[in-house]
Chain A
Amino acid sequence: MWRYRYFLTSKPVKQTITLTVNGCEHAIEVEPRELLVDVLRNHLRLTGTHVGCDTSQCGACVIHANGASLKSCTAFAIQFDGAELTTIEGLGQPDKLHPMQQAFQQHHGLQCGFCTPGMVMSALDLLDRHQQPSRHQISEWLEGNLCRCTGYHNIVNAVAAGAEQAAALDTDKTA
């Protein structure tokens, strides 16, 4: 009961945090209870990161924070004060897609596209660990990403192809 009164009478305490998202620094006023994904979508209007289940199962909200992938529906924005975030918007532009995005397009790694931002962000975290992942490693890695359309076959194809293209680009750069 006291909590109900608290809910009615207290004003949310906001704090200002700094997030560097896709290279741009933002100072944002947030309530502690605001989820990272909600801040990205509602405050910064970066709506490429999706909310599918809101229970940390589907992975549509996967982004990178300080280089590691996470489910942004299961984190408070306030925990990330000072962090560097990358969302799907930070990878490529419609006329210049990231190799992994291109691979999803070429291999029909999506149908409705709702899970795709999370799939792509998760796949890129895999490439940080294994430059040439096996099909088994890819399907194990995508454990935390659900797709209800394609049955995963083409998604695994796309990640494998994206990995090859990314590796080829790396070789070009070092050559």
Chain B
Amino acid sequence: MYPFEYHKAQSVEDAVAQVTRGDDGKFLAGGMTLIPTMKQRLASPDLLVDIGQLDSLNGIRKDGDTIVVGAMTTHATVERSPLVNAHLPGLAQLAAVIGDPQVRNRGTLGGSVANADPAADYPAAVLGLNASIVTDKRTIPAEAFFIDIFETALEEHEIITEIRFPIVKNSGYKKFPNPASHYPIVGVFIAVTDDETRVAVTGAAGFVFRCEEAEKRLAARFDAAALEDMKLSHEDFNEDIHATADYRAHLIAVMASRLVESMR
């Protein structure tokens, strides 16, 4: 690994001020993606600003009808949080199946969402629950946040501080994991509110998206049978050694059906 300079941030302001000192300064959160990427020399920042231990970015609280999760909250903390389990079971289910226990102990919500890996789990909950991404500069709605593969609405050196998840009537997450990496080949998050049923899909395409066909069917009848014979167009779906685009399209229907079954 190339040498780099390290700065442990004292506050969000300090982090933002420091990171611009480097030619290619980067924020370090849990490091579960950045460190492997640096080892492979796919990234070689000359400066790392460590925000992983900022208390102000860590923790879970209830604010009216919203669950607010600090950006540096680890997956293990979300998985075990009584607040999350009571109000947003789908979010706890999702956190509990990310990677492996050691990844969940280090990896953070903000790190995962900012990285926007097409096969990351968290984006499904962010879009499914219609969450708001709060940064040091502004608040971005989930619908406008994920733009493309590894691309978000974040500007350079903008830090996610917290994500606000509206409490919904019912929520759930199910994925078909790659047996080696545990990344979802397809992951489906369903949120049921008074007004709508939202179905967000990760892993299938370049970035997380809402499956309108499944939403329409489930709004009419919240039953696994409603998803039978659902055929999705898969032109833009990912194709790799693990699954064809056609197979991913099929998996969406299968995972959504199983999830609906478990949520009823």
Binding site for B on A (CB under 8 A): 3, 6-7, 10, 12-13, 15, 31-33, 54-57, 59, 62, 68-71, 74-76, 78-79, 81, 122, 125-126, 141, 143-145
Contacts and interface: CB of A to CB of B under 8 A. Distances in A.
B101 A56 contact: no
Interface of B: 1-6, 8, 28, 31-32, 35-36, 39, 44, 46, 48, 50, 52-53, 76, 99-103, 105-106, 180-182
Given A55-B39, A56-B32, A74-B31, A32 B102 contact: no
B36 A70 contact: no
Nearest to A72: B102
B102 A15 contact: no
Given A15-B6, A54-B39, A70-B106, A143 B100 contact: yes
A125 B6 contact: no
A12 B3 contact: yes
A15 B103 CA distance: 27
A120 to B, nearest CB: 14
A143 B35 contact: no
26 contacts: A3-B2, A3-B46, A6-B3, A6-B46, A13-B5, A15-B6, A32-B4, A32-B5, A33-B2, A55-B36, A57-B180, A57-B181, A69-B101, A69-B105, A70-B102, A74-B31, A74-B106, A75-B106, A76-B35, A79-B28, A79-B53, A81-B8, A122-B101, A125-B101, A144-B99, A144-B101
A174 B241 CA distance: 54
Contacts of B50: 79
Contacts of B101: 69, 122, 125-126, 141, 143-144
A27 B52 CA distance: 22
Given A55-B39, A69-B101, 8 more contacts: A12-B3, A57-B181, A75-B31, A79-B8, A79-B50, A79-B52, A122-B101, A144-B99
A68 B48 CA distance: 23
A74 B35 contact: yes
Contacts of A79: 8, 28, 31, 50, 52-53
Contacts of A55: 36, 39
A62 B101 CA distance: 11
